[in-house]
Amino acid sequence: MLNLLNLDRQGLSSFFIKLGEKPFHATQVMKWIHQQGVLDFDAMTNLSKALRLRLKEIACISLPQVDMLQTSQDGTRKWLLQLDNDNSIEMVFIPFDARGTLCISSQVGCALDCRFCATGQQGFNRNLSVAEIIAQLWLAEHTLRAEQKSERAINSIVMMGMGEPLTNFNNVVTAMNLMMDDLSYGLSRRRITLSTAGIVPAMRRLREQCPVNLAVSLHAPNDALRDQLVPINKKYPLDQLMAACRAYTKGKPGRQITFEYIMLKEVNDSTAHARALIKLLKGIPAKINLIPFNHFSHSSYQCATPEAIENFRDILMQAGLLTVTRKTRGDDIDAACGQLAGIVRRRKNTI
Ligand code: SAH
C-alpha cells in the first residue's frame, strides 16, 4: 500500500491525476497531513466521501513507531523510532528558548566508517525512505505543538543525525522539499542545514537542485590525517572537496559554508593543525564549528582539553575566521553529535 508520506506536492498531484481525480486534492491532503497533523482519511472533511473511501483502499499514512523517548537535563530529547523488525533510528530535538532544532537521520547506520563516530562503528543497513525522513519532522512537530499548545515548535532542521544524507540524495531532497513547502512546514532554505562528510559529486547536484545551508565535516587540515579519520577522503581528497566548497558558494552572495572540526586530543588539536586549517580555507566564505569529541563505548579517542580548544579557536579567530565551539547538548542521554546509534540488526557494508 502506498504511504502518502513518501510524496511531495508534485508526487501527490501526479498520484491524484493517475487516479483520474483533480490535482488540487494534493493541496488539501498535504495541508491535512503536514499542517493539521491529521492521519485519518475520514477526518479529511473537504474530500468527498467517495474519494476518502477510495484513498483508504489504496493508500495509507503511516509513521514509524515511537519505541522510546528520553529527555536530558538540559531539555534535549531523543526519540528511538522503530521502522521495521530489523531497524530503528534516533532523532534529537534541541530546544533554544521557546522553539528548537530537530536533528534528523537519513540512513539506518552509516557506511562511511568515520573512526570517531558511534553511528559509523555500527555499520550500515539501508537508506531511509522519504516517508521515514519526513515522519521524523511530523512526529516531533505535532507532539511538541500539542504539548506546548503552540502553533509552531521546530524552527530549524539539521540533517546531522544517523547516516550520510548525500548518499541518500533523492529521498533527502524530496523530504527537504516537503520541509520547505508552504503547504506543509514552510521552513525557509536558510533554516535547513545539511551536513556531509564530503560526497563531492552530490555537493554539486545539491547546489543545483536544493541549495540549503551546507556543513562539511572536515576534521583534519591535510589528506594524511583526514584519510585516517574520515575514510571517504581517499575517494574525494581535500583538493576536490575544497573545489566543491568553492563552487557551492560561488555566485551566491552571503552564503557561507560551515566547517565542522571535531576536537580530538593530540590527534588534530595543535597550533600547527590550526595554522594548516587557515591555509586550507583561504578564499572560501567559511564559518568554523569546533565540536568537542563526544565519547561512546569502544572509542579510543579522547576529547581535546579545554585549553587546546581555546587555543585552537583563538588562532582561527586571529586569522579572521568566525569560529564557534559547539556546546554539547544531551550527552547524558547519548544524544550528542556522533552518539546516535539506534538499532541495526542487519549490516551491509556498501551504500
Ligand atoms: N554524515 C554526515 C552527518 C552526520 S554526523 C557528516 O559526516 O557530516 C554530524 C556531525 O557529528 C559530523 O560533523 C560528525 O563528524 C560529527 N561527529 C561524529 N561523531 C562525533 C563524536 N563522537 N563527537 C563529536 N562529533 C561527532
The tens digit of pLDDT for each residue in 192-207 reads 999 999 999 999 999 9
Kindly give the distance from the C-alpha atom of residue 34 to the centroid of ligand 1, in angstroms, as a whole number. 29
Tell me the fold of 65-333: TIM Barrel (3.20.20)
Q: Which residues of the chain form CATH 3.20.20.70?
A: 65-333
pLDDT on residue 309? 98
Instruction: For ligand 1, atom 9, name the residue with the nearest CA.
Output: 160
pLDDT at 254: 74
Task: Take atom 3 of ligand 1 and give the residue whose Cα is closest.
Answer: 160
- Measured in Å, residue 112 CA sits from the centre of ligand 1 at 11
Q: Is 291 in the pocket of ligand 1 (CB under 6 A)?
A: yes
Taking the C-alpha atoms of residue 116 and residue 299, their distance in angstroms, rounded to an integer, is 7
210 is in an annotated binding site: no
**Is 171 part of any known ligand binding site?**
no
User: Does ligand 1 have an atom closer than 6 angstroms to the CB of 124?
Assistant: no
For 257-284, b/e burial (b = at least 16 CB within 10 A) is bbbbbbbbeebbbeeebbebbbebbeeb
Residue 346 has a pLDDT of: 61
CB of 328 within 6 A of ligand 1: the answer is no
60 marked ligand binding residue:
no
CATH of domain 2-60: 1.10.150.530
For the CA of 159, the closest atom of ligand 1 is 3
User: Distance between CA 279 and CA 160 in Å, rounded?
Assistant: 27
254 is in an annotated binding site: no
Low-confidence ranges of the chain (pLDDT < 50): 350-351
pLDDT at 298: 80
Which residues are tagged catalytic?
A: 90, 337
**pLDDT given for residue 351 in this prediction:** 47
**Confidence at residue 347, expressed as pLDDT on a 0 to 100 scale:** 64
Among protein residues, the one whose CA lies closest to atom 1 of ligand 1: 164
pTM: 0.95
pLDDT, position 305: 97
Domain with CATH 1.10.150.530 in the chain: 2-60
Determine the pLDDT at residue 345. 67
